[in-house]
Amino acid sequence: MRGATHARWIACAAAMALAATACGGGDDSDGGSGSGDAGAVLSSSWGDPQNPLEPANTNEVQGGKVLDMIFRGLKRYDPKTGEAKDMLAEDIETTDSQNFTITVKDGWTFQNGEKVTAKSFVDAWNYGASLKNNQKNAYFFEYIEGYDKTHPDDGSKQTADTLSGLKVVDENTFTVKLTQKFSTFPDTLGYNAFAPLPQSFFTDHDAWLAKPVGNGPYAVDSYTKGSQLSVRKWDDYPGEDKAQNGGVDLKVYTDNNTAYTDLMAGNLDLVDDVPAAQLKNVEADLGDRYINTPAGIIQTLSFPFYDENWNKEGSDKVREGLSRAIDRDQITDTIFQKTRTPATDWTSPVLGEEGGYKEGLCGDACEYDADAAKKLIQEGGGLPGGQVKITYNADTGSHKQWVDAVCNSINNALDNDKACVGNPVGTFADYRNQITQRKMSGPFRAGWQMDYPLIQNFLQPLYYTNASSNDGKWSNAEFDKLVDQANAESDTTKAVETFQKAEEVVRDNMAAIPLWYQNGSAGYSARLSDVALNPFSVPVYDQIKVG
Amino acid sequence: MGRYVARRLLQMIPVFVGATLLIFLMVNVMGDPIAGLCGDRECDPATAAQLRREFGLDKPVGQQYLTYMGNVFTGDFGTAFNGQEVTELMASAFPVTIRLTIVAILFEIVIGITLGVVTGLRRGRPVDTGALVITLVVISVPTFVTGLLLQLLLGVEWGWISPSVSSDATFDELIVPGLVLASVSLAYVTRLTRTSIAENTRADYVRTAVAKGLPRHRVIRKHLLRNSLIPVVTFIGTDIGALMGGAIVTERIFNIHGVGYQLYQGILRQNTQTVVGFVTVLVLVFLIANLLVDLLYAVLDPRIRYA
pTM: 0.83
- Residue A449: predicted pLDDT: 86
CA-based angle A21:A22:A26, to the nearest 5? 95
CA A102/CA A92 separation, integer angstroms: 5
List all residues of chain A from 382 to 441 with a beta carbon under 8 Å from chain B.
Answer: 395-396, 426-436
Strands A247-252 and A228-233, by their bridges, are antiparallel
Smallest Cβ–Cβ distance between B46 and the set A60, A153, A448 belongs to: A153
Q: Give yes or no for a contact between A345 and A496, defined as CB atoms under 8 angstroms apart.
A: no
In chain B, residues with a C-beta closer than 8 Å to the C-beta of A449 are 40
Count residue pairs from A and B with Cβ separation < 8 A.
162
Cα atoms in the 13 Å half-sphere on the side-chain side of B239: 24
- Residue A3: predicted pLDDT: 38
Q: Do B36 and A428 touch (CB under 8 A)?
A: yes
In chain A, residues with a C-beta closer than 8 Å to the C-beta of B92 are 224-227
Q: Give yes or no for a contact between A100 and A94, defined as CB atoms under 8 angstroms apart.
A: yes
Q: Do A395 and B268 touch (CB under 8 A)?
A: yes
Maximum CA pair distance of chain B?
A: 84
Task: Note whether B71 contacts A: Cβ–Cβ < 8 A.
Answer: no
Q: Do A60 and B39 touch (CB under 8 A)?
A: yes
CA A491/CA A495 separation, integer angstroms: 6
Q: Give yes or no for a contact between A394 and A424, defined as CB atoms under 8 angstroms apart.
A: yes
Return per-residue pLDDT of chain A as tens, 547 residues.
343 334 333 333 333 333 333 333 333 333 334 456 778 999 999 988 888 899 999 888 889 999 999 999 999 998 888 888 899 999 999 888 789 999 999 999 999 999 999 999 999 999 999 998 988 888 889 889 999 999 887 777 888 999 999 999 999 999 999 987 777 788 889 988 999 999 999 999 999 999 999 999 999 999 988 889 999 999 999 999 999 999 999 999 988 889 999 999 999 999 988 887 888 889 899 999 999 988 899 999 999 999 988 988 888 999 999 999 999 999 999 888 888 999 999 999 988 888 889 999 999 999 999 999 999 999 998 898 889 999 998 877 678 889 999 999 999 999 998 899 999 998 888 888 888 888 898 999 998 888 888 888 899 889 999 887 888 999 999 999 998 888 877 777 888 899 999 999 999 999 999 999 999 889 999 999 999 999 888 999 999 999 8
Q: Which residue in A273, A310, A308, A307 sits closest to A292, CA to CA?
A: A273
For chain A, the straight-line distance linking the first and the last C-alpha, in angstroms and rounded, comes to 53
Q: Is the ipTM, as predicted for this complex, more than 0.95?
A: no
User: In this structure, what are the phi and psi dihedrals at residue A358, rounded to the nearest 5 degrees?
Assistant: -130, 105
Extract the runs of DSSP E, i.e. beta strands, from B14-162: none
- Residue B169: predicted pLDDT: 81
Q: Which residue in B242, B286, B270, B244 sits closest to B90, CA to CA?
A: B244
Task: Note whether A251 contacts B: Cβ–Cβ < 8 A.
Answer: yes
Residue partners of A335: CB distance under 8 A and separation at least 6: A398, A401, A402, A405
CA-based angle A64:A74:A76, to the nearest 5? 55
- Residue A397: predicted pLDDT: 67
User: In this structure, what are the phi and psi dihedrals at residue A476, rounded to the nearest 5 degrees?
Assistant: -145, 120
List all residues of chain B from 74 to 93 with a beta carbon under 8 Å from chain A.
Answer: 81-84, 88-89, 92
Query: With bands split at pLDDT 50, 70 and 90, how would you rate the model's confidence at B108?
Result: very high
- Give tens-digit pLDDT for B189-241: 999 999 999 888 888 888 898 898 889 888 888 888 888 888 888 888 888 88
CA A533/CA A351 separation, integer angstroms: 15
Q: How far is CA A358 from the centre of its chain?
A: 19
List all residues of chain B from 88 to 147 with a beta carbon under 8 Å from chain A.
Answer: 88-89, 92
- Residue B1: predicted pLDDT: 66
List all residues of chain A from 119 to 138 with a beta carbon under 8 Å from chain B.
Answer: 131-132, 134-136, 138
Distance to chain B for A428, nearest Cα, Å: 6
User: In this structure, what are the phi and psi dihedrals at residue A94, rounded to the nearest 5 degrees?
Assistant: -155, 150
User: In this structure, what are the phi and psi dihedrals at residue B37, rounded to the nearest 5 degrees?
Assistant: -75, -25
Task: Note whether B210 contacts A: Cβ–Cβ < 8 A.
Answer: no
